[in-house]
Amino acid sequence: MTKNIYAPFGMDPEKVQSLYDIFLATTGVTTDTRTLSGGEMFFALKGENFDGNLYALQALEKGAAYAVVDKGSEASFSTDPRIIAVDNTLLALKAMARCHRESIKVGGRRLTVVGLTGTNGKTTTKELIREVLASKFRVSATKGNLNNDVGVPLTVLSIPKDAQIAVVEMGASHPGDIAALVPVCAPDYGLITNVGKAHLLGFGSFEGVKATKGELYDWILSNGKAVFVNSDDENLCGMAAQRAGLSLIPYGLKYWECEIIPPSEDNPYLFLAIPEGVEPNVEIADGQEENMVLCRTSLVGSYNAPNVLAALAVGMYFGVPLQDGVDAISQYVPSNNRSQMTRTEKNTLIVDAYNANPTSMVAALDNFAAFNSNKKILMIGSMGELGDDSLKEHISIVEKVASMQLHGAFFVGEEFRKALENVGEVPSWISWYPTSDDLAAELGKNPPQGAAILIKGSRSQKMENVLCKL
C-alpha cells in the first residue's frame, strides 16, 4: 500500500492534488492582502493575534484568484466559487507545498533537497551553500530567513520547476518545531550548524534544544540519505552517534586539517587554508597539507569557519570542485547585519546585530578580543527568550566584558540592567542605556572616532539603530 505522505497534515492525497492543480493556474501564493498584485492564491492563516479569514473576501476584491479559508469561518459560507474551504488553512498550505516538492523532477528523478537548521549561523551557512552549489547547478534556496511554520511552505512553493537542487532553512523555538517542518520539504540530506543556548524559554533546557534540532537527524535516518556533520563539534557528533545507522558525511577544521589564518589590519576577515586534496568523507593523507587552497572571505569572525567548511563539504559532495567552491565563497558579501564589517569615515564597525544568544555572544566577544585595534568599543543589546536562565546568562556576559581590554562598553536593555545590579564593581568604562534609541541619542552628542566597534544584540533590541551615529 502506498504511503500517504500527506498524513502529517491530515489531508487526503486527492484533495491535496486538487488544491495543487488550482495553485498551478495562479500566479503564486500569498498570506498577506498587502502583497497582492493579482492572480494569487490567498491562504487565510489564523494565529493568536490575527485571523486571515476576516480578509478573504477583501483579498478576492483586490485581485486574488482564489481564497483558501477555514471551514466554519464566515468567509466559508460565501457563495463565491473562488472560496475554497479546508479543515485547517496552515496544514493545507503545508500539504500543497509537499505536493509541489514531489512534483519537481530532475532527469526523471525526485528533486534533491538539503535541509538546514541550527542555533547559530544557519542563514549564513545557507547563503554560502547556495553560492557554492550555484557554481554548478540551478539552485533554489530559502530567501532571507523564511524558516518558520509559514516560511518553509512558502519557500518550498517558490522552488521553480527547473531547479536542480534546493536548500531549505528551518528554524525552531519550541519542541517539535523541526518535526513539523521536515514533512513539508522532505529533505534528502540534513545539516545542523550547531546547538547552543537559545530560545531556552521555549525549549526548557539545552537538552531540549538538542532534542528539537535532532529531529532533522531523525527524519534523515528514517526517510533520507545522509547528514553533514561538523566533526569538531562534540554535541553534534554525540547526537549523530545516538542514532544508529545514520549515514554521516563529516567535515571540520581538524578533520580536514585546515588552518585559520590569524586576522590582521590588512585582512581582518576569516581566511582559511584548506588542503588541496580534501574530499568529504575521506581522511587527509600525510603530506597533503603542503598543498593548500587559500579561501579568503568577507565574513568577520573565526566562528564562521564551520559555516564555510559546511558549504564546501556540501558542494564537494555534489561534485563542485574545491577551488570553484572557494571562489564562490570569496565573492559572497554578507548582508542583513550578519558578520558584516563596515568602515565609515569615523570608525570600523563589526555588525552582527541580527540575533544574539549566549553561545553566539561569547563567540563574537572572543573574536573581538583577538581583533587588532588600539581602541575597541562594545555596543551590545540584551538577549531574549532565555527564561529562568536569563539573569545568569546576562551576568556571565557582563563579567566576560569586564575582563576584556576595552576603551568602552555600552549595554542596552532591561536584562543587562538587572545583570549590572547583580555583579560586583564594574569598570567605569561600562555604561547602560534602556534602548538602542537612547544609546543612539548619546552617541549623537559624543560620537566615537577612530575605534573598532562591535554591535551585537537580539533582534528585539534593534541595535542597528546606532549605526547612523557611527
Mean pLDDT of 302-322: 93
Which tens digits make up the pLDDT trace of 423-449?
888 888 999 999 999 999 999 888 888
Say if residues 235 and 210 touch (Cβ distance below 8 Å).
Answer: yes
pLDDT at 242: 94
Least confident of 77-86, 301-310, 386-395: 386-395
3-class DSSP state of 457:
coil
Kindly state the average pLDDT of the residues 42-50.
Answer: 89
For the domain spanning 104-330, the CATH number is: 3.40.1190.10
Residue 218, helix vs strand vs coil: helix
User: pLDDT tens digit string along 253-282?
Assistant: 999 989 988 877 667 788 889 987 777 654
pTM reported for the whole predicted model: 0.85
Highest mean pLDDT among 169-178, 320-329, 352-361 belongs to: 320-329
**What is the pLDDT, as a whole number, of residue 284?**
38
The closest alpha carbon to 244, from 224, 226, 221, 225, belongs to 221
Cα gap 114→222, rounded to integer Å: 15
Residue keyed to cell 547585519: 337
Residue whose C-alpha is closest to residue 144's, from 118, 122, 165, 123: 123
Q: What pLDDT is attached to residue 9?
A: 93
Q: pLDDT for 77-102, tens place per residue?
A: 989 999 999 999 999 999 999 999 99
Sheet containing strand 165-169, strands side by side: 139-141, 165-169, 112-117, 189-192, 226-230, 248-251
Q: One-letter amino acid identity for 316?
A: M
* Lowest mean pLDDT segment, chosen from 311-320, 356-365, 418-427: 356-365
Domain spans in the chain, listed from the N-terminal domain onward: 7-95, 104-330, 340-469
> What top-level class would CATH report for the domain 7-95?
alpha beta
Whether 114 has a pLDDT exceeding 60, the answer reads yes
Torsion of CA 217, 219, 221, 224, to 10 degrees: -110
Helices 206-213 + 177-185 axis angle, to 10: 10
The pLDDT score that the predictor gives to residue 209 is 83
Residues contacting residue 106 through CB under 8 Å, at least 6 positions apart: 112, 163, 164, 165
Is the pLDDT assigned to residue 175 strictly greater than 90?
Answer: no
Alpha helices in 138-230 (DSSP H): 151-157, 177-185, 200-203, 206-213, 215-223
Asked whether the predicted pLDDT for residue 198 surpasses 80, the reply is no
Whether residue 287 is predicted with pLDDT greater than 70 in this model: the reply is no
Q: Assess whether pLDDT exceeds 70 at residue 200.
A: no
CB environment 23-48: b (16+ within 10 A), e (fewer):
beebeebbbebeebeeebbbbbbbee
pLDDT at 2 over 80: no
Domain 340-469: CATH superfamily, name plus number: Mur ligase, C-terminal domain (3.90.190.20)
pLDDT > 50? residue 203: yes
CB 393 within 8 A of CB 403: no
The pLDDT tens digits of the residues spanning 206-253 come to: 788 888 999 999 999 999 999 999 999 999 999 999 999 999 999 999
In Å, the largest CA–CA distance within the chain is 75
Give the mean pLDDT of the chain. Answer: 89
Tell me: pLDDT of 410 over 70. yes
CB atoms within 10 A of CB 269: 17
- The predicted pLDDT at position 288 comes to 44
